[in-house]
Amino acid sequence: KGSSYLFLDADTSLSKNAISILGALTKKSKKVYSICPYHKIKKPYEKLSSFFNVLMLAGSNAFKLKDANNPALFGQCMLISREHYLQSGGHAAVKDKVLENFHLSAILKEIGIERECYMGKGIVNMRMFPNGFGELWSSWQKGFSNGAANADPQALLWSSVWISGLMFCVVSLLLLLTPYTSPMYHWFTGATYLIIMSQCMWAFRWAGSFSIINALFFPITLIFYQILFFTSIVNGRLGKKSRWKGREVS
């Protein structure tokens, strides 16, 4: 039996030197390590995941400038010592949960085990939704509604503020189509759009192989995010079931 366990989702792939890099972490400390895989985009509909991927990173509470001492784990790639895995009860302790990583992270925190997260670009990749738009919709719908319910409150607050600011920009862009805006308004809105577009391009590139087209047309993927997110909330309030990993969940 090994001294450490490496858990990988079926949709992940490793670079040639990934095992040696991950193995070095086990010699660094006895923390539990989690890697957020870099999302490899292959089909056009997968580009709709841009905001979901970025907000997944933000909601983990793992990449703050300071005090990132309570991160959630990324379920796609986790490196944990055998001792800590058995001590926490492992996946058996969270087998009835939709997002096992959030709940396992909470258990590890309760028993005083430190967690540390990294971004996986160049080390761990993933292809999330190769089976079509329906898979993307159902997976993000359930995953994100549960993720919001379990996310760090401060991370959730700042994510909401950011999304609200982006939506304000989208509304401002739509107002440009009316005859009631001034030249100054046009200049201000255009400058705001360029700033946000640059910000989105920077954020998207960290999360996956999203192109500049994603950033240029961020209003489209943002509106898709809002539609899916609020549909998920409404369905949850109505008690409707959705599909998650091939099974129906409420």
Instruction: Quick: pLDDT tens for 198-224.
Output: 999 999 999 999 999 999 999 999 999
Tell me which of 27-36, 145-154, 230-239 is least confident: 145-154
**Mean of all residue pLDDT scores within the chain:** 86
pLDDT of amino acid 178: 92
Q: Is 29 exposed, middle or buried (0-12, 13-18, 19+ CB in 10 A)?
A: exposed
Cα distances (angstroms) measured from residue 207 to each of 37, 60, 79: 8, 13, 20
Query: Does the model's pTM come out above 0.75?
Result: yes
Q: Are 74 and 125 in contact (CB under 8 A)?
A: no
Looking at the predicted structure, is the pLDDT value of residue 5 above 80? yes
> 170 pLDDT band (50/70/90 cuts)?
very high
How far is residue 106 from each of residues 115, 150, 235, 250, measured CA to CA in Å? 10, 10, 26, 22
Provide the number of structural domains found in the chain.
1
In angstroms, rounded to a whole number, what is the distance separating the alpha carbons of residues 105 and 211? 32
Query: What's the chain's Rg over C-alpha atoms?
Result: 20
Give the per-residue pLDDT at 240: 67
What pLDDT shows up at residue 152?
72
**Domain span at residue 187?**
4-245
**CA pair distance 25, 22, nearest whole angstrom:** 5
Residue 228 pLDDT > 90? yes
pLDDT score, position 153: 76
Note the pLDDT of residue 150: 63
250 domain-assigned:
no
Q: Percent helix, strand and coil across the chain, each rounded to 5? A: 55, 15, 30
For 34-67, the pLDDT digits (tens) are 898 999 999 999 999 999 999 888 877 666 555 5
Residue of 235, 193, 215 whose CA lies nearest to 54: 215
On whether the CB atoms of residues 84 and 26 are closer than 8 A, the answer is no
pLDDT at 217: 96
What percent of the chain clears pLDDT 90, i.e. is strictly above it?
44
Q: Which helix (H) or strand (E) holds 69?
A: none
- Residue 204 confidence (pLDDT): 95
Burial 149-187 (b: 16+ CB within 10 A, else e): ebbbeebbeebeebbeebeebbebeeeeeeeeeeeeeee
In a domain? residue 122: yes
How far is it, in rounded angstroms, from Cα 30 to Cα 46? 36
Q: Is residue 239 part of a domain?
A: yes
Choice between 230 and 239, residue whose per-residue pLDDT is larger: 230
| pLDDT over 80 at 151, yes or no | no
